[in-house]
Structure 1
Amino acid sequence: MNAQVVGRVRRRFATDGVEATPAAVVNAVRGETGVFGNTAVLRLADQVRGELVGAGPLAPLLADNSVTDVLVNGMQVWVDRGAGLQRAAVRFQDPDDVRRLAQRLVAACGRRLDDGQPYADARLPDGTRLHAVLPPVATCGPYLSLRTFRQRPFSLDDLVSCGTVAVTAAPVLAAVVRARLAYLVTGGTGSGKTTLLSTLLNMVPRSERIVLVEDAAELRPVHPHVVALQARTANVEGAGAVGLTDLVRQALRMRPDRLVVGECRGAEVVDLLGALNTGHEGGAGTLHANAPGDVPARLEALGMLGGLPRAALHAQVLAALQVVVQVRRTDRGRVLESISVLEPVVSGSERVTGVVPAWQVGRGAGPGAAVLGRMLVERGVAVPAALRPPVGSA
């Protein structure tokens, strides 16, 4: 009965072309026969409006602060609350409902999704990232992937209290930011890189200017002087694209005290390294890497996209970056796994980048602790206890 009412009201708005304001939806639902009581009317009105202008049956999941990802496979809905995927109780009537929802959400963001363009990336007004794929490319689809965006900022103490950052590691991270060391937050997809980077940017002195360059605006540091630049994809005619490389170059003309690239994924890494080598200390970014030791190879691959030879790339990296902060996704949630330093290593006849752990979860200080400690002392920052050798050790 409810599904029939929702369907009739939805078709009425589609036919009449009337704006689906909350009041108009309530009046339309109230006008349907067989619906009694204010509670039922308001509940159905919310459902109708969600299907007309919102995320439809996915709206309650996206509103759940514990949900980080909502995935739709055909008619199955899965959610991730930080501990792996779980089936959700949400149901669609048929794949056409999923298709209509995907096309409406994508169209509202100025993108195209149809048989001629069967996949699309979009960002919803609340910041949620959407990716959609239609059949026949999606063999059992349509497929929807939504990554939620939470406005609530996290402090370092918040990450310590929830177990993401160890108590001993928190002062090390704070010292890295205070010393204006350049760092990369690395990890796999969904490991919490952006959340940790945003938290670290919260600790930048209020007298400094942060310029953010992102493919999709996700970083929201709590800081009084933040300037954000976001890449733009091409329009339906294939024109108007603005890439990260262009934005990094623009950012350099904006007097950044801290230049931050939300995610290094292409040739823009060459411009970032160049910027960090020309006096822009304390810069940061995120990078996909399964382990800290994979970072040099990832940077090599990205540097090649920008036309930078291998030897030159390593020379730039060693001069520009000092620290790698690795995060990992576990069954218990997202955790800071290690803090490492970048050091030169001789490989054959070349001087390349090596990654040496300075602190590791469950192990404490690593072989790179002394190196990181010296970097901090040189910049007038006290060495945290987690990086000091045990009392009485040689």
Structure 2
Amino acid sequence: MSEPAAPGVRLADVRAVLGRAGAAPGPVEVAAALRSLGALVSEGNVRETVAALRRESAGAGPLEPLLALRGVTDVLVNGCQQVFLDRGVGLEPVEGVFADEDEVRRLAVRLAAAVGRRLDESSPFVDARLPDGTRVHAILGVLTDVGTCLSLRVPSRRPLTLDDWVAGGTMHPRAAELLRRVVERRVAFLVSGGTGSGKTTLLASLLGLVDPRHRIVIVEDSRELAPVHPHVLRLEARPANAEGAGAVPLVALVRQALRMRPDRLVVGEVRGAELTDLLTALNTGHEGGCGTLHANSAADVPARLEALGALSGLPRAALHAQAAAALDVLVHIGRLSDGTRWVEELHLVTWDEASGLCRPMPAWRFPAGGDPVAGAGAVRLEELLRC
């Protein structure tokens, strides 16, 4: 938090004095800096100033206390005036975190540097993963109207089981039962949902149910999935360096994963040309493959797949044929009006001979606070899970 170093002296002033002298923020150096600024020097002032300077230079600085709060999944900074956090019930504003734009920018630049990335006017945004697994996106004020913006996604500190989902009021018991059987029967599936809906967390919970004798190979753009399973390999894409070289895209990693004898191939988030390789893999004997996909509903998934298939030049008809043969079930998770997450529906992926397109067939819908509603595909889903 932005706080005074001592009565009448700002922390920024102390930092400036230390910077000009090239001094470390130790007790002796801080006491000298306070004296040079005309502040009253006491053991308490020195101790508090040293602690404040070290908080600012370690971890996520002023955001560290927010990231440590129980249940926090996201911390969002819209310039120095607006900070929000999400604890699963929607965004909550937090006051008095930053003093000015310079403080936000320094933090953003330091977080980028911590993972070997550059953030300046020539490269004004960055998307990276911090050493503790926190995903950070930063964009400088030169591209926004509010100043430097930060978006931090906090990894789950404790992997959730399906029982946890049910107990926490985010999944109906019937949905949990069906999802257990989906994993057990090695059915290929996608988890769809909007940003921050809990797709990755749900997928990690489901992967924890995979037979411990099976080898899971996970491919992700930024490493987030951490299932509790004894045999997991996690491959992470790599962006280009400052010279524009060294990038390793998801599509390359999916192809490498296929050579690593996976029992379950997982694409943490399908978002580009790697879709073609995933569908090809699921059509060539890799049972039980899965991933997540941004979509507003299960019914919107085919259109989303079409858009991604176009990125790799896959014709519409071929995309639908591949998807219908490769995928079995769609699981959709969303947010309720109060901000809480909720597993909303299960659909079957079916083939429509008349149109030559794959179509989601509703199997089960789970109204919040109500009883499950069986759809046209409920019987066929039962047959699929019984085979």
TM over 0.5: yes
Q: CA–CA distance in 2 between the matches of 1:35 and 1:156? A: 56
What letter matches 2:63 in structure 1? L
State the percentage of identical aligned residues.
55
The answer to whether the 8 A contact 1:358-1:368 is kept is yes
**Alpha-carbon deviation of 1:43?**
4.6
Q: CA–CA distance in 1 between the matches of 2:153 and 2:51? A: 23
**Alpha-carbon deviation of 1:82?**
1.7
Structure 1 residues 344 and 26, CA, compared in 2 at 3 Å: closer, same or farther? Answer: farther
Structure 2 residue matching 1:48: 3-state secondary structure: helix
Does residue 1:2 correspond to 2:5, yes or no? yes
Q: Which residue of 2 aligns with 1:211?
A: 217
Q: Which residue of 2 aligns with 1:102?
A: 108
Q: Which residue of 2 aligns with 1:47?
A: 52
Q: Which residue of 2 aligns with 1:391?
A: none
Q: CA–CA distance in 2 between the matches of 1:170 and 1:311? A: 34
Greater shift, 300-309 or 216-225, is seen at 300-309
Structure 1 residues 30 and 182, CA, compared in 2 at 3 Å: closer, same or farther? Answer: farther
Greater shift, 160-169 or 210-219, is seen at 160-169
What letter matches 2:97 in structure 1? R
**Alpha-carbon deviation of 1:29?**
4.7
1:237 to 243, 246, 261: 243
2:77 to 56, 72, 76: 72
Q: Which residue of 1 aligns with 2:286?
A: 280
2:61 to 36, 56, 63: 56
Q: CA–CA distance in 2 between the matches of 1:278 and 1:17? A: 61
The answer to whether the 8 A contact 1:47-1:56 is kept is no
Q: CA–CA distance in 2 between the matches of 1:161 and 1:325? A: 19
TM-score, with structure 1 as normaliser: 0.89
Structure 2 residue matching 1:2: 3-state secondary structure: strand
TM-score, with structure 2 as normaliser: 0.90
Q: CA–CA distance in 2 between the matches of 1:257 and 1:159? A: 26
The answer to whether the 8 A contact 1:182-1:283 is kept is yes
**Alpha-carbon deviation of 1:10?**
3.3
Structure 2 residue matching 1:7: 3-state secondary structure: helix
Structure 1 residues 46 and 202, CA, compared in 2 at 3 Å: closer, same or farther? Answer: farther
1:141 to 142, 147, 151: 147
Q: Where do 5+ consecutive residues of structure 2 fail to align? A: none
2:358 to 332, 353, 358: 353
Measured against aligned partners, the alpha-carbon deviations of 1:126-171 in whole angstroms (never above 9, x if no partner) come to: 1111111223211221111111122311111111100111112111
Q: Which residue of 1 aligns with 2:197?
A: 191
Measured against aligned partners, the alpha-carbon deviations of 1:296-351 in whole angstroms (never above 9, x if no partner) come to: 1111111111111111111111111100000001215101001111011134xx42
The answer to whether the 8 A contact 1:151-1:220 is kept is no
Structure 1 residues 126 and 14, CA, compared in 2 at 3 Å: closer, same or farther? Answer: farther
Greater shift, 206-215 or 146-155, is seen at 146-155
Q: Where do 5+ consecutive residues of structure 1 fail to align? A: 379-394
Q: CA–CA distance in 2 between the matches of 1:139 and 1:305? A: 31
Q: CA–CA distance in 2 between the matches of 1:158 and 1:243? A: 34
Greater shift, 231-240 or 139-148, is seen at 139-148
Q: CA–CA distance in 2 between the matches of 1:364 and 1:35? A: 69
Q: CA–CA distance in 2 between the matches of 1:227 and 1:46? A: 39
Structure 2 residue matching 1:169: 3-state secondary structure: helix
2:328 to 322, 332, 357: 322
**Alpha-carbon deviation of 1:66?**
2.1
Q: CA–CA distance in 1 between the matches of 2:79 and 2:195? A: 23
Measured against aligned partners, the alpha-carbon deviations of 1:372-391 in whole angstroms (never above 9, x if no partner) come to: 1111121xxxxxxxxxxxxx
**Alpha-carbon deviation of 1:16?**
5.8
Q: CA–CA distance in 2 between the matches of 1:314 and 1:370? A: 23
- The 5 Å alignment of 1:108-123 reads 108-123=114-129
Q: CA–CA distance in 2 between the matches of 1:156 and 1:28? A: 53
2:156 to 147, 150, 159: 150
What letter matches 2:347 in structure 1? S
Q: CA–CA distance in 2 between the matches of 1:105 and 1:46? A: 19
Q: Which residue of 2 aligns with 1:384?
A: none
Structure 1 residues 42 and 346, CA, compared in 2 at 3 Å: closer, same or farther? Answer: farther
Measured against aligned partners, the alpha-carbon deviations of 1:247-269 in whole angstroms (never above 9, x if no partner) come to: 00000000000000000000000
Structure 1 residue matching 2:143: 3-state secondary structure: coil
Structure 1 residues 110 and 293, CA, compared in 2 at 3 Å: closer, same or farther? Answer: same
**Alpha-carbon deviation of 1:12?**
5.7
Q: CA–CA distance in 2 between the matches of 1:323 and 1:154? A: 21
Q: CA–CA distance in 1 between the matches of 2:146 and 2:257? A: 43
Q: CA–CA distance in 1 between the matches of 2:305 and 2:386? A: 28
Q: Which residue of 2 aligns with 1:381?
A: none
RMSD after superposition: 2.0
The answer to whether the 8 A contact 1:9-1:28 is kept is no
**Alpha-carbon deviation of 1:180?**
0.1
Structure 2 residue matching 1:211: 3-state secondary structure: strand
